[in-house]
Amino acid sequence: MSWHAARCGLDAEEVRRALGETGVVVIEGTGLSDTAFADFLEELGEMTFTAGETPLDHEPRLNFVSNVGRTKPPRSVFHTDTSYVRQPPAFTALKAERIPDQGGETVFANQFDAYERLSPDLKLRLRGARVLHRVTGVDPGEGQETESWHPLFRRHPVSGRTALFLSTPERCVALELADGSRADDLIATLFEHSTDPSREWRHAWRPGDILIWDNRCTLHKGDHSAVVGDRVLHRGMVAGEAPLPAA
């Protein structure tokens, strides 16, 4: 394991700086209300919302992530949030509302690390490649974006580092090389490479925790495999830019 999350206070500049360095930030035991949570996220940038999600009645800038009332656990698959739009969110944040008695961790894979571990030959072959991301899991509604092409090798706008930028193969439906040829068969291989279990980092939730991550350089999933009890989190997102291709 070559990385871990940063631990910060409720300071927007500190959080923004730490996200650029590590990709994930933990803010412990804040006790923030939903309105205060959303207000803090707005200090990080303009908030955005995934079309098709249901906003909280009392705080429409947020939605909820929950296992309550489900007949089977939610899916647990690594992904980056809302990558099928032209400008995917830069940051996603979760605030703990109800913590299960067991399990329910949020798991991360660092995509700077995933890029750096690619072989020189594969980096050369995939230079300038792009991936078609297509919506899954929600119905955005009429007139909303449902798919977008993004560079496979993404340059981070703050650090300048290169990350492997893809999502679950269900959402990444085509891979086009710089010469216009297709290499769709590589998507599953790259996804497996980028989610190596030996290199993941796991966050075990505690009451009051806030977890913020940079979608431009991480993949994440909720681990619902051994949850006992209710797991309820409130989610907010900060808008991002159109992904920048690596040089």
CA contacts within 13 A on the Cβ side of 118: 25
- The answer on pLDDT for 1 being more than 60 is no
**Residue 186, domain member (yes or no):** yes
CATH number, position 121: 3.60.130.10
For 116-165, write each residue's pLDDT tens digit: 999 999 999 999 999 999 999 899 999 999 999 999 999 999 999 999 99
Q: What is the pLDDT of residue 73?
A: 67
**Residue 92, domain member (yes or no):** yes
Grouping H, G, I as helix, E, B as strand and the rest as coil, residue 114 is: helix
Both structure tokens of 28: 């412990």
What global pTM score does this model have? 0.94
**Residue 124, domain member (yes or no):** yes
Q: What is the pLDDT of residue 69?
A: 73
CA contacts within 13 A on the Cβ side of 148: 17
- The answer on pLDDT for 4 being more than 90 is no
Q: Give the domain range for residue 180.
A: 6-245
Domain count, the chain: 1
- The answer on pLDDT for 31 being more than 80 is yes
More confident of the two residues 21 and 78 = 78
For 183-227, write each residue's pLDDT tens digit: 999 999 999 999 999 999 999 999 999 999 999 999 999 998 888
**Residue 101, domain member (yes or no):** yes
**Residue 1, domain member (yes or no):** no
The pLDDT-based confidence of 2 (bands split at 50, 70, 90) is: low
- Contact yes or no for 210/26 (Cβ under 8 A): yes
Distance of CA 218 to the CA centre of its chain: 6
Q: What is the pLDDT of residue 66?
A: 85
Both structure tokens of 143: 């007139």
Which of these ranges, 27-31, 76-80, 156-160, has the smallest mean pLDDT? 27-31
**Residue 223, domain member (yes or no):** yes
Task: Name the average pLDDT for the chain.
Answer: 94
Phi, psi (degrees; rounded to nearest 5) at 206: -130, 155
**Residue 131, domain member (yes or no):** yes
**Residue 67, domain member (yes or no):** yes
More confident of the two residues 181 and 30 = 181
